[in-house]
Structure 1
Amino acid sequence: MRILHVLSQRPEMTGSGVSTLAMLRCAGDAGHSNALVAGVPAAFAVPAQLGGGTPQAQEEHCLCSFSSFVRFGRDLPFAVTGMSDVMPYESSRWAQLDDSQLDAYEACFGECLRNAVQAFRPQIIHSNHLWVVTALARRLFPQIPVVASCHGSDLRQFRSVPRVARRVLAACRMVDGVFALSQAQKRDIEMLYGIDSRRISVVAAGYDRQVFGCGRPWQRNTAGGPLRVLYAGKLSRAKGVPWLLRACARLLGCGHDMVLDICGGGTGSDYEECVALARGLCERAVLHGNVSQNRLAELMRAAHVFVLPSFFEGLPLVLLEALACGCRLVATRLEGVEEVFAGLPSEAVTLVDLPRLHDVDRPFAEDERRFEHNLHAALKNCLQTMNAPVAGGVSPAVDALLDGYSWEAVFSRVDAVYRRIVSDCC
């Protein structure tokens, strides 16, 4: 089968980029032929796995037989429009684009998509995010089946930028299939877009078993050193990072022995606030910046606890990756997170209640202190119980969960939908 994968932002960064690369790899392993259209900065160096580099490197590593890129800052006079308002690289926001910029965006991606379809002749288009580029693909190619992966950030934009939501709604409703991360997200898609539930398949998200794993039974203790807590993601308020840093400051102020490792980047005032708070912890907070998947796996294997205090997520890949590396999880009680992880023993995961939110991912001021306290309490409990004996059922429970969330398992569910839809359209 010839599959055209479409992503409106960088394919090597953020959860949707990791997911797209995984789909390319797994589709190739299953015997399919891949092409890719993506949005990147003007200076983006195309890696060998996406068709860049030397012919020998391409032959050894390339995941697709055709690739084409919209280059923001050259083809379009603004930075990559990120699906999150704070991205780990220079970006623009959907809410800031006027109608003429949206028209230019659609025209540029439209030309790129037409060229890709003409050159590659796909049997199905797999787009990412129920948003502008997916709607565009549906309108431009009514004769080709279009499926879309929902990553959660698209639902946030749909709620936050109604002017653009109205622009994409009708075409997004007409896609042939939607891949959701969880049952909770499936319900949101039904409610927001009015898409028939029979066209929405819960396929979840996955992790790379070749990169993430600890090679030993789940559990580690803190003998001989401080508790190492790891965060990986954008440095933004929507991810809960300032409250995490304040909670860690309280723990350190009470004499607890811990180090917070922080992976990720950001831009603007959110990023500056997070960096300032981290520097206030001196050597007890280590800013690693954006790291490769292999480096992230190394840090996860060295960590005791992985914490994700986010206010809005679909199903965060990093939680699966951290669990596979042997980390205990501390995460906010988001619907998708609770659906997947709440069945694990308390030794493996602690869920923290969310503050009340407005504008999708902004806590009410009067709830901020309680949220910080809840994070502090969860991390303090980890400090106090990390070296306690672990019940015998924890490792089997973790293994059973992870078996269903490898990228190979996720792709098998995706591939079944591909085959059904292409067969129905023949």
Structure 2
Amino acid sequence: MKILHLLSQRPEATGSGIYIQAMIREAARRGHENFLLAGVPRGEEFQPAGLASTACEFVTFHGGDLPFPVVGMSDVMPYPSWRFSDLSAPEVEAYEWGFADRLLDVVAGFQPQVIHSHHLWLLTAVARQMFPHLPLVATCHGSDLRQFHFCPHLRPRVLAGTRHLQGIMALSGAQKHDIIRLYDIPGDRIEVVGAGYNEALFRPQPKPTTDPVQLVYAGKLSRAKGVPWLLRALGNLVHLPWRLHLVGGGTGEERDEILELAAALGDRVQLWGPQSQEELARLMGQAHLVVLASFFEGLPLVVLEALACGCRVVTTALPGVKEVLGGYDTEAIVLVDRPRLLGQDTPRQEDEDGFVRDLANALTSQILAARERPEIDRREIGEILEYYSWSQVFARVEQVYLGALGHEPH
């Protein structure tokens, strides 16, 4: 079938970018024809592997089709961006028309049989209203639910389109319940398909000596990801042998705060900036422990990638994480309770010290365990890794496509 993939931001960055690249790659492997429409800064067009330049179109920001920077689905992105909550009414109109104009050309030229849009947000709503006759499905990534919370003035525009999709895909059962509650969409139109990891890249490697234990954080350098609290927790563990590889980008005051905290830990923290999937896989292959202290996620890809590379994991007990990993009794995974939150991802001040202490305790246990047993027993998590490989995730997505086309899913 002919599939048009839509993403309103850069397709080479963040979890949704990795997701859409995987969808394109797996769809091609199964004989489907793909086309990508995405939003990028002017002059920074990105061509996913396996997709010809003639199968990509872009809405260009920051002096191109639109005068302002890419508007991020997260308020802190690993590249210069604007926030939806800061857009004026004319800027929202310009944003929607920028994508609408390009959509008209792409749909006329490519003539897709199904449209797969990413995020239950403005671009998906625009596409639904423009092409009510075309089968259109969308993947929720969690950041769209966050924007729904922070931008009540945009909800009517979003709901006008997203309530009329042929299918919605959630990363977890917990996220499905959030979609039902926030968007008032019947549960029988929402399928839990999950997120995946690239099994060709993320695979176990022989682990190096544990003096020091190698830790990796991979994600945005932001407060919502819990990075400042992670660094404070590690600051309490200077008596243990560890080295942290901080992978990812950020902007503004939050990045500056994180860089200052990292600098205080000296050469124990190595800053890598944003990295490719290939380089991240290399770093994880040489790591003993991957840590995620995030306050708000759908289903973090980095946790699956870490386990596939044979790493231990310390992660906050996010609903999606608990759903996927909570039933497995394995020493490889330690869950840390989140602090109570104000809004979506701001910890209550009175809970911060306790959260740092809990993180430090979890890190201590895993650092000591890695010292004793550098390799984990992947047999305990083999079932998870098979279910969440991209090939298996796409097989579930393909069934949603068939349902949208009116075929009986297998």
TM-score class, shorter: over 0.9
C-alpha distance in structure 2 between counterparts of 1:113 and 1:375, whole Å: 46
Whether the 8 Å contact between 2:39 and 2:61 is mirrored in structure 1 is yes
Instruction: Specify which of 264, 275, 289 is matched with residue 305 of structure 1.
Output: 289
Aligned-residue offset at 1:309: 0.2
Q: What residue number does 2:201 align with?
A: 211
Residue ranges of structure 2 left out of the alignment (5+ in a row): none
Whether the 8 Å contact between 1:222 and 1:386 is mirrored in structure 2 is no
**SS of match in other structure, 1:79:** coil
The 5 A counterparts of 1:313-328 are 313-328=297-312
Instruction: Specify which of 413, 422, 426 is matched with residue 396 of structure 2.
Output: 413
The 5 A counterparts of 1:213-362 are 213-214=203-204, 222-223=209-210, 225-252=211-238, 255-362=239-346
Aligned-residue offset at 1:40: 0.2
Q: What residue number does 1:182 align with?
A: 172
Aligned length: 407
Whether the 8 Å contact between 1:180 and 1:200 is mirrored in structure 2 is yes
C-alpha distance in structure 2 between counterparts of 1:335 and 1:46, whole Å: 33
Whether the 8 Å contact between 1:314 and 1:336 is mirrored in structure 2 is yes
Q: What residue number does 1:124 align with?
A: 114
Q: What residue number does 2:57 align with?
A: 68
**SS of match in other structure, 2:82:** coil
C-alpha distance in structure 1 between counterparts of 2:25 and 2:373, whole Å: 40
Aligned-residue offset at 1:387: 3.8
1:164 aligns with 2:154: yes
The 5 A counterparts of 1:38-53 are 38-47=38-47, 49=49
Q: Percent identity?
A: 49
C-alpha distance in structure 2 between counterparts of 1:321 and 1:383, whole Å: 19
The 5 A counterparts of 1:125-144 are 125-144=115-134
Task: Indicate the RMSD between aligned Cα atoms, in angstroms.
Answer: 1.7
Aligned-residue offset at 1:423: 2.5
Q: TM-score, normalised by structure 2?
A: 0.96
Whether the 8 Å contact between 1:35 and 1:64 is mirrored in structure 2 is no
Q: Match of 1:415, as an amino acid?
A: E
Whether the 8 Å contact between 1:7 and 1:39 is mirrored in structure 2 is yes
C-alpha distance in structure 2 between counterparts of 1:424 and 1:167, whole Å: 30
Whether the 8 Å contact between 2:310 and 2:378 is mirrored in structure 1 is no
Aligned-residue offset at 1:62: 2.4
Aligned-residue offset at 1:290: 0.6
Whether the 8 Å contact between 2:6 and 2:117 is mirrored in structure 1 is yes
**SS of match in other structure, 1:386:** helix
Aligned in 2, Cα 1:324/1:390: closer, same or farther, shift over 3 Å? Answer: same
Decide which moves more: 11-20 or 160-169: 160-169
Whether the 8 Å contact between 2:45 and 2:58 is mirrored in structure 1 is no
The Cα offsets for residues 286-332 of structure 1, whole Å up to 9 and x where unpaired, read as: 00001111110111011111000000000011110111001101000
Residue ranges of structure 1 left out of the alignment (5+ in a row): 50-60
Aligned-residue offset at 1:215: 5.2
C-alpha distance in structure 1 between counterparts of 2:52 and 2:314, whole Å: 35
Aligned-residue offset at 1:98: 1.0
C-alpha distance in structure 1 between counterparts of 2:216 and 2:270, whole Å: 10
Whether the 8 Å contact between 1:229 and 1:261 is mirrored in structure 2 is yes
Q: Match of 2:14, as an amino acid?
A: T
Q: What residue number does 2:186 align with?
A: 196
Q: Match of 1:66, as an amino acid?
A: A
Aligned-residue offset at 1:390: 9.4
C-alpha distance in structure 2 between counterparts of 1:385 and 1:3, whole Å: 46
Aligned-residue offset at 1:164: 1.1
Aligned-residue offset at 1:400: 1.5
Aligned-residue offset at 1:46: 3.2
**SS of match in other structure, 1:283:** helix
C-alpha distance in structure 2 between counterparts of 1:240 and 1:111, whole Å: 38
**SS of match in other structure, 1:34:** strand
C-alpha distance in structure 1 between counterparts of 2:46 and 2:398, whole Å: 27
Aligned-residue offset at 1:166: 2.4
Aligned-residue offset at 1:222: 4.7
Aligned-residue offset at 1:389: 5.6
C-alpha distance in structure 1 between counterparts of 2:233 and 2:21, whole Å: 35
Aligned in 2, Cα 1:338/1:174: closer, same or farther, shift over 3 Å? Answer: same
C-alpha distance in structure 2 between counterparts of 1:17 and 1:166, whole Å: 26
**SS of match in other structure, 1:377:** helix
Aligned-residue offset at 1:278: 0.4
1:404 aligns with 2:387: yes
The Cα offsets for residues 123-147 of structure 1, whole Å up to 9 and x where unpaired, read as: 1110000000000000000000110
Whether the 8 Å contact between 1:36 and 1:64 is mirrored in structure 2 is no
Whether the 8 Å contact between 2:213 and 2:371 is mirrored in structure 1 is no
Aligned-residue offset at 1:421: 1.6
Aligned-residue offset at 1:345: 2.8
Instruction: Specify which of 87, 97, 110 is matched with residue 87 of structure 2.
Output: 97
Q: Match of 2:251, as an amino acid?
A: T
C-alpha distance in structure 2 between counterparts of 1:126 and 1:65, whole Å: 19
Whether the 8 Å contact between 1:33 and 1:65 is mirrored in structure 2 is no
Whether the 8 Å contact between 1:39 and 1:70 is mirrored in structure 2 is yes
Q: Match of 1:304, as an amino acid?
A: H
Q: Match of 2:175, as an amino acid?
A: Q
C-alpha distance in structure 1 between counterparts of 2:57 and 2:180, whole Å: 32
**SS of match in other structure, 2:72:** coil
C-alpha distance in structure 1 between counterparts of 2:115 and 2:398, whole Å: 13
C-alpha distance in structure 2 between counterparts of 1:391 and 1:92, whole Å: 42
C-alpha distance in structure 2 between counterparts of 1:164 and 1:352, whole Å: 34
